């Protein structure tokens, strides 16, 4: 049974015990800065995480373990989002949260941005979400991939 489908501990609500299911997150742009902080905090709070960045394994800022899987690659490319989702489903059985943090660094003042730069940024942010929802051949994205029963 994938780790994300196992029961882990108990939570109380109005004095009644109820089982807690481990949550699963995908974090893009996870090797440093905000993305790394999100990843570390999610792990601290009990999430299983699939972390992505172009060279996340060689960066060695995060080390893979039972609840943390690393996927190298540019999230704006066509095949990497599928690899990220496949890692989450294959290792943890579901996806509950997407921290779509990846972005591009544009080394100039905002007032000098052109549509080329903005299109690159939007492409990165939209590719994973688009593939989660519309990629043909992925199993029932509205249920299994997004954590529904």
Distance CA 132, CA 45 (A): 25
**Mean pLDDT, 10 residues at a time, the chain of 149 residues:** 52 41 92 96 97 96 97 88 92 92 80 78 65 54 45
Predicted local confidence at residue 113, as pLDDT: 79
Contact predicate 18/10, CB 8 Å: yes
Distance CA 56, CA 72 (A): 6
Domains present along the chain, CATH in parentheses: 3-134 (3.40.50.720)
pTM for the model stands at: 0.73
Q: How far is CA 80 from the centre of its chain?
A: 12
User: Can you tell me which residue has the tokens 């509205």?
Assistant: 142
Predicted local confidence at residue 8, as pLDDT: 47
What the block records as the tokens of 64 is 């893979």
């Amino acid at each position: 049974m994938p780790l994300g489908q196992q029961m882990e501990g108990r939570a109380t609500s109005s004095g009644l015990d109820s089982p807690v299911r481990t949550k699963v997150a995908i974090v893009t742009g996870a090797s440093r800065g905000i993305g790394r902080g999100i990843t570390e905090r999610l792990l601290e709070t009990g999430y299983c995480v699939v972390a992505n960045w172009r060279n996340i394994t060689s960066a060695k800022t995060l080390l893979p373990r039972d609840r943390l899987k690393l996927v190298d690659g540019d999230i704006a490319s066509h095949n990497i989002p599928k690899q990220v989702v496949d890692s989450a489903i294959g290792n943890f059985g579901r996806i509950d949260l997407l921290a779509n943090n990846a972005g591009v660094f544009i080394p100039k003042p905002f007032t000098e941005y052109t549509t080329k730069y903005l299109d690159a940024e939007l492409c990165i942010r939209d590719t994973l979400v688009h593939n989660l929802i519309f990629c043909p051949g992925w199993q029932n994205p509205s249920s299994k991939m997004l954590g529904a029963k």
